[in-house]
Structure 1
Amino acid sequence: MADFTFSTLKYERPDFTEVEQLFEKLVKQVQEAAAYEGLKELLKKAERVQNKLMTACTIASIRHTLDTTDTYYEKEDEYINNTIPTVMPKFLAFDAAVMNSPFRDDIEKEYGKQYFAQKELNRKTFCEANIPLMQQEAKLTNEYQKIMATAAIEFEGQTLNLYGVQKYFEHEDREVRRAAVRAYSDFYHSNEKRLEEIWEELITIRNQMGKNLGYANFIPVGYMQQGRTDYGEKEVAAFREQVRTELVPLCEQLYAAQAKRIGVDTLMFYDEKRVFPDGNAVPAGDDDFMVEEARKMYHKISPETGEFIDFMIEHELMDLKNKPGKAATGYMTFLPDYRAPFVFSNFNQTIFDMQVLTHELGHAFAGYMAMREQPITEYYSESTDIAEIHSMSMEQFSYPYAEAFFGKDADKFRFAHLQEAITFVPFGVAVDEFQHICYANPELTPKERTAEWKKLEEKYMPWRKYDADDFFDRGGFWYHKLHIYLYPFYYINYTLTTMGAMEFKKKNYENHETAWQDYLNLCKCGGSMSYLETLRYANLSNPFEPGSVARAMEVAKQELMNSPFMR
C-alpha cells in the first residue's frame, strides 16, 4: 500500500457473479456459526470482499468524473450503476442472517448499537422491485451530470465551463458581472426542457420507490438514505423556521451594507459575489502555490493534519485543477482497500479554491482519521449530517492562516467567507423545502415547480433580484443545484452543520486546545454513533432545540457586524 499513487492504480471490472456466490456461501456459514469468534471471522471476510468491490467501483467512478468524455470509464460507471442494485439482495440476506444470529448481543457489545441501526436502515430502503428503478435513476443522474460537465459557454472570447464563467461573477466591471450571470443563466435556459424532463422522471421514479417500500412518497426513504435515525421532517421544518426568523433579517442587513460598500443603489444577483469595491480577495499564487500553502498550514495545525496532508500529496489523492470534461462538482470519497480518501474539485482562482482546500480536505481528514481509529468499514464514514461539520469547521480552523494564501487581502477573505457561510443558509433551507414540495406534490407541472422555487426565494431570500433576467427571475435558479438531482435531501445537512461549525468557531475563540480536541474526537468517531449521540460526544449543541440558531450564530454575527467592512 505504501507505494501506490491513484494514477497508477489498476482497475479491473468487478466480478459481481463471484461476489454473489461468495455471499450466498457466507449466509449459510453465518447461520451455522457455532461461536462468536467464528462469526466474527465471517464478518471480516465479508468486509474484505465488499471493500475490494467498493474500491474498484470507486476508482471507476472517480476516473469517469475526471473526464466525462472518456467512453471507457463512462461505460464502466454505467455498468456498475446498473449492476450494483442486482447484488443488493445478497448483501441484505447476509445482513439479515447476522441480525438474526444468536450472537447479536456479542456483536452489539463489541461494535455498539449503531452497527445494527445502519443495517436496519439498509433493510428499510431496499426492495427487489426497486432494482430497475435504481438503474433508471442512475442513468438519469449521469445524464444530468454529463450535461453540466460538458457545458461550453462562450464568454469574453473564451469557451468556459460552469466553474470558469463563475469567476466573472466577481469582476470589477458591473456590466461584465451582469453578462457573466446572463451567460450562466442562458446555459440552463437552453437546457431547460431536458432538465425539466429529467427532474419529472426522477420524482416519478423515486416516489414509486417509496410506494414500493410502503410509504406515501419518497420523502421517508430519502431521510433514511441519509442515515437519519433520531430526527425527521417535523424537526427539519422547525429548523427551517428558525433560519427564516433569525438569519434572513441578518442577511438582509449584510447585503444592504454590501450595496452601500460597493456603491450600488440596488444589489442585484450579479452583485452578490462582489463583496468589496476594490476587488475581492484572490489567491496570492497559482494552483500549485495554493496546494503547497495548504500543506504548510496542515503541518502547523496539528501533527495529525500534517501526517494526513503528506499522505494525500504523496499518493496523488487530490485532483483540483479545472479541466475540460471534468464533472462540474466537488466531492470527497474513499478507497477502503487503501484506507485512502480522494478529493475532487475544480479550482477557479477565487476564494472558492481556499474553501476546497479546507472544506473537501476537512471531509478527507475526517475519513483519514476514522479509517485509522474505527474497527470496521461501516464506521469509516458517518451520516451526512455529521460529515459536513468536519468540512465546515475546518474552514473556520483555517482562518489564522489566511495571510499565507491571500497576503494583504486576508481580512477580506475572512469577512467574505464568513458572510457567505451565513448568507448561504437561507438558500440551503430553500433547497430542502423545495424537494419536500416536489416529492409531496408530484402532480405539479414543471413550470409550477419553478414557480414554487420563486416563492421560496421570496420567503428565504427577499433581497434576491435578477434585473429582469427572465429565466432566473421566474424561478430557474434551482436548476443549477446538482444536489437536487443527484443527492436527494442531502442539502439540509450543509445548513445544520453550519450551526456546528459556528459553534466550533465560538469554542475556538474561548479555548483553541479544547475546541481542537473536540473536533479531533468528532473526526475519529466516524459513523459509530447516531447524529445526536455524535453531537453530544463532540460537546456540540442540538440544532433543533428552540433558540439554537441564534446561539450558534452569536459570535459570527458579532464578528461581522463589528467588522470595519460594515462601516
Structure 2
Amino acid sequence: MEKFSEFCYKRPNYDEVKKQMRARIEELKIADAKLTVTLAEELNLLNSEINSQQIISNIRHSIDITDTFYNEENDYWNEYAPLYEELITDYYRGVLASPHQEVLRTTFPATFFLIAENQLKTFSPAIIELSQTENNLISRYEKILATAEVEFNNEKMPLPKLGPFYQSPDRHVRQAADQVRSHFFASKEIELDEIYDSLVKVRTSMAKELGYPDYVAMGYDMMNRFDYDRNMVESYRKEILSQVVPLTQKLYKRQAERLGLETLYHYDLPIEFSEGNAIPKGTAEEILDKGVTMYQELSPETGEFMSQMMDRQLLDVLSKPGKQSGGYCDFIASYQAPFIFANFNGTSGDIDVLTHEAGHAFQVYQSRWIKEPECVFPTYESCEIHSMSMEFFTWPWMHLFFEEQTEKYYYSHLSDAVEFLPYGVLVDHFQHEVYEHPEMTPQERKTTWRRLERMYCPERDYSHDNFLEKGTYWYRQGHIFASPFYYIDYTLAQVCAFQFWQKAYIEKDPCAWNDYMSICKVGGTKTFLEIINLAKLNSPFEEGSLRKVMETIDGYLSNIKDEVL
C-alpha cells in the first residue's frame, strides 16, 4: 500500500467538477428511485475525492508552511473551498428535495441528512466572499505561529521547542522561557488584534446574511450540535464552576506545597514536582517504537492499526522550523488513511499526543467502511471521546515510556485533565461573550477574557507579566481564531473519558474496551447522545454526572501520597 509521500495530489479542476456535479443534480430532479441512488452515490464519490485532495494539500502545507508549491495550493483552497462548498450544498439540496426519500434514507446514514439540513442553513452563495476572507485571515494567524522563531539560551528555535523549559525545576528558567513566549505574542499584539477583530466582524456578517440573530446560533449549526443548545451548555458551565473548580483549587494548593512555594505564579503551573515532571525516556524514534509495542499488546485491532500507520508513514510528529504548531488527526478517504500531525518537544505531552491523536486515528480506521466523508468522523464532542479515552486505555503501558516515573505520570495526567475542564469552559464562555457582543473593541475582549479567567481559573497569578494580566493569554489558543466554538467539545468528551477510566482502571469492567470499540466502529453515523448511550456512559448534561466522577477522581488522587511522587 502507498506511503503518504506517494499519495497523489492533483488540484481539482473546479469548472469540470462543477459541470459534473450540476449535471447529476439536475438528473436527480427527474430520476426514478434506482437512478436516484446511483446519482447520489456518484455525487458522494465526487465529494469524497475533492475532500481528499484538500486534506492532502492541507497536511503537506502544515508540515512545511514555507513550501512554495503547497503555499500556492493553500491559497487556492482558501479561495475555492467556499466555491466547492456551494456545489456540495447544491448536492445536499438535491438529495433532500428528492421525492425518493425512503430509498435514500436506507442508503445514507441518518446523520448525513442532519448534516445536509444544517449545511443548507449555514451556507449561501451570498457569503462566499466572506468565507474566502475568513480563510485568508486564519492563514495569516497560522503563518505567524508557524514561522515564529524565538531566541532562548543563545539558540533560535520554533515556539513548540520552548515546551521543556516551561517545566524546568529551575524557577528562573521556566520564568525566562515563559517571558520569551510572552514577548513574542506582545510583539504581535496589534496584528493579532486586527486579525481577530476582522474575523469576528466577518463571521457576524455571515450570520446576519443567513438570517441568524448572531454568530453563536450559526456556530452551533456549523458544529452540528444536534442534541444540545446554548442553554444546556450554559447550565453545564455552571456545573463546572460548582463541581470542578473547587477540586482544581485543592490540587493547585497541594502543588504549591509540594514545590515549597508560598505563591504559584502562572509560570509555576506547568511544573508539578520539585524534582521535575515525568519525562518520557528515549528519542522520538524510540518513543514511536514503544508506541507500536503498546498498541500491539492492547488489542489485535490496535496492533493492526498502528502497523499500518508506521508502514505507510502516516505520522509526522517531530517539531521543526516552518512546521505549523499544534497537533491534529485527519482522514484521507481516497486512501482510507488516517494521518497524525504533531510537534514532539520532549515532555510528557509527546505521549499524550501519541495516545490522543492515535485515538482519533484508530476511530476513523475502524469506521473507514463509511462511504460518506462527512460521516467518517462523528461530531467534534464525540470525536474527542475516542481520543481522550484512548489516553486512559493505554495507562497499563505507560511504564514503557516513564519507567520509575510512571506513578508520577498517572497523577499528572489525571490531575491535568481535571484542571483542563475549567479552562476549556473558559474558552467557550469567552467566545459566547465575543460573538454575542461583536461590537466589543479589542481592549474590551481582553478585559472580558481576564474577567472570565479569574472566574474559572483563579489560580492564574500574572503578577510578573503585565501583558498576560491585561487578558491576552487567548492569543495562543488557535481554536479561537481558526475553529470558533470548537472547545467545549473537549470538556464534554473529557467527562465521558473519565467514565471510561473509572470503568476500565478502577472498576476493572471487562466490557469497557468492547464498549469503546463499539463507538469507534459507528463513526459519525450516530449523534453525540446516541454515542454516549451506545458506550453505556452518563451524559455530561445529566444532573449529578459531574459530581459522581469528580468524587471518584478526588479519592484516587488523594490516595497517592506526595512522598511517593
TM-score over 0.5 (shorter chain):
yes
Report what 1:207 is aligned to. Answer: 204
Would the aligned equivalents of 1:219 and 1:439 in 2 still touch at CA under 8 Å?
A: yes
**1:566 Cα deviation (Å)?**
7.8
**Given the alignment, which residue of 368, 373, 379 partners 2:375?**
379
Aligned equivalents of 2:68 and 2:509: distance in 1?
49
The TM-score normalised by the length of structure 2 is 0.98
Aligned equivalents of 1:334 and 1:245: distance in 2?
38
**1:96 Cα deviation (Å)?**
1.5
Matching of residues 158-307 of structure 1 within 5 Å: 158-307=155-304
Report what 2:10 is aligned to. Answer: 12
Residue 491 (1) aligns with residue 487 (2): yes
Query: Which secondary structure does the structure 2 equivalent of 1:145 belong to?
Result: helix
Matching of residues 35-50 of structure 1 within 5 Å: 35=33, 37-50=34-47
Query: Which secondary structure does the structure 2 equivalent of 1:199 belong to?
Result: helix
Report what 1:412 is aligned to. Answer: 408
**Given the alignment, which residue of 417, 434, 438 partners 1:442?**
438
Q: Which one-letter code corresponds to 1:443 in the other structure?
A: E
Aligned equivalents of 1:160 and 1:289: distance in 2?
23
Aligned equivalents of 2:366 and 2:40: distance in 1?
22
**Given the alignment, which residue of 446, 449, 452 partners 2:448?**
452
Report what 1:83 is aligned to. Answer: 80
Aligned equivalents of 1:90 and 1:185: distance in 2?
43
Report what 2:322 is aligned to. Answer: 325
Range that drifts further, 155-164 or 544-553? 544-553
Would the aligned equivalents of 1:257 and 1:566 in 2 still touch at CA under 8 Å?
A: no
Would the aligned equivalents of 2:200 and 2:438 in 1 still touch at CA under 8 Å?
A: yes
Query: Which secondary structure does the structure 2 equivalent of 1:345 belong to?
Result: strand
Query: Which secondary structure does the structure 1 equivalent of 2:313 belong to?
Result: coil
Q: Write the deviation string for residues 187-232 of structure 1: whole angstroms up to 9, x where unpaired.
A: 1111000000001000000001100110122111111111111211
Cα root mean square deviation, aligned: 1.3
Aligned equivalents of 1:369 and 1:192: distance in 2?
43
Residue 402 (1) aligns with residue 410 (2): no
Report what 1:64 is aligned to. Answer: 61
CA separation of 1:55/1:111 partners in 2, compared to 1, >3 Å: closer, same or farther? closer
Range that drifts further, 510-519 or 105-114? 105-114
Range that drifts further, 301-310 or 502-511? 502-511
- Structure 1 runs (4+) deviating above 6 angstroms are none
Aligned equivalents of 1:210 and 1:377: distance in 2?
25
Would the aligned equivalents of 1:267 and 1:465 in 2 still touch at CA under 8 Å?
A: yes
Would the aligned equivalents of 2:48 and 2:372 in 1 still touch at CA under 8 Å?
A: no
Aligned equivalents of 2:65 and 2:111: distance in 1?
37
**Given the alignment, which residue of 411, 429, 432 partners 1:433?**
429
Report what 2:557 is aligned to. Answer: 560
Would the aligned equivalents of 2:37 and 2:107 in 1 still touch at CA under 8 Å?
A: no
Aligned equivalents of 1:30 and 1:21: distance in 2?
14
Q: How many residues align?
A: 563
Instruction: Point out where structure 2 has 5 or more consecutive residues left out of the alignment.
Output: none
**1:112 Cα deviation (Å)?**
4.3
Instruction: Point out where structure 1 has 5 or more consecutive residues left out of the alignment.
Output: none
Would the aligned equivalents of 2:47 and 2:88 in 1 still touch at CA under 8 Å?
A: no
**1:253 Cα deviation (Å)?**
0.6
Report what 1:477 is aligned to. Answer: 473
Query: Which secondary structure does the structure 1 equivalent of 2:385 belong to?
Result: helix
Query: Which secondary structure does the structure 2 equivalent of 1:341 belong to?
Result: strand
Range that drifts further, 313-322 or 102-111? 102-111
Q: Which one-letter code corresponds to 2:489 in the other structure?
A: N
Q: Write the deviation string for residues 524-565 of structure 1: whole angstroms up to 9, x where unpaired.
A: 111111111121111121111222211233322221121112
Range that drifts further, 4-13 or 323-332? 4-13
Residue 347 (1) aligns with residue 325 (2): no
Would the aligned equivalents of 1:499 and 1:553 in 2 still touch at CA under 8 Å?
A: no
Query: Which secondary structure does the structure 1 equivalent of 2:511 belong to?
Result: helix
Q: Which one-letter code corresponds to 2:16 in the other structure?
A: E
Would the aligned equivalents of 1:385 and 1:493 in 2 still touch at CA under 8 Å?
A: yes
Aligned equivalents of 2:218 and 2:440: distance in 1?
21
**1:107 Cα deviation (Å)?**
2.0
Report what 1:129 is aligned to. Answer: 126
The TM-score normalised by the length of structure 1 is 0.97
**Given the alignment, which residue of 25, 31, 39 partners 2:23?**
25
Query: Which secondary structure does the structure 1 equivalent of 2:270 belong to?
Result: coil
Query: Which secondary structure does the structure 1 equivalent of 2:196 belong to?
Result: helix
Report what 1:541 is aligned to. Answer: 538
Q: Write the deviation string for residues 51-102 of structure 1: whole angstroms up to 9, x where unpaired.
A: 2211111111111100111122111011112112123332222222211222
**1:32 Cα deviation (Å)?**
2.1
Aligned equivalents of 1:445 and 1:376: distance in 2?
42
Query: Which secondary structure does the structure 2 equivalent of 1:288 belong to?
Result: helix
Would the aligned equivalents of 2:121 and 2:210 in 1 still touch at CA under 8 Å?
A: yes
Query: Which secondary structure does the structure 2 equivalent of 1:346 belong to?
Result: strand
Report what 2:52 is aligned to. Answer: 55
Would the aligned equivalents of 2:376 and 2:524 in 1 still touch at CA under 8 Å?
A: yes
